[in-house]
Amino acid sequence: MRLIFRLFLQGDGRSGPMGVKDIASWLNAHGHTFGKGLFYTSCVHAILTRNTYSGTHYFNRHDSRDQAHKTQGEWVCAGSTSGSFRRRLSDRVQNALYERRPK
């Protein structure tokens, strides 16, 4: 996770900040795996946008019987570290994602 954030914000030392597609290609070329398979752009994007990595994690997001999505008011926050380094890093990534998005 830290590597993906670093590649997105700073690059690999040979280039500037990398995009989602470049990160997935770089990780695969350097032998990193996602679970048992390859990294895809959707995996990298999900990691960059997931609240859990910013220090906030929610559970009770789906009904246990039918997996129906619950409203955000029904979610339970398992922990929050607002103001922490992880939150600031995540905010930087979110801003960069917004600025670099295809028009």
Prediction pTM value: 0.68
Nearest Cα to 1, choosing from 23, 19, 25? Answer: 23
What integer is the mean pLDDT of 11-39? 92
- Please give the pLDDT value at position 40: 93
For the stretch 66-101, pLDDT in tens is 888 888 787 777 665 555 656 677 778 878 888 887
Domains of the chain: 2-100 (3.90.1750)
- Please give the pLDDT value at position 84: 61
Name the CA dihedral angle for 61, 56, 96, 21, rounded to a multiple of 10 degrees.
Answer: -60
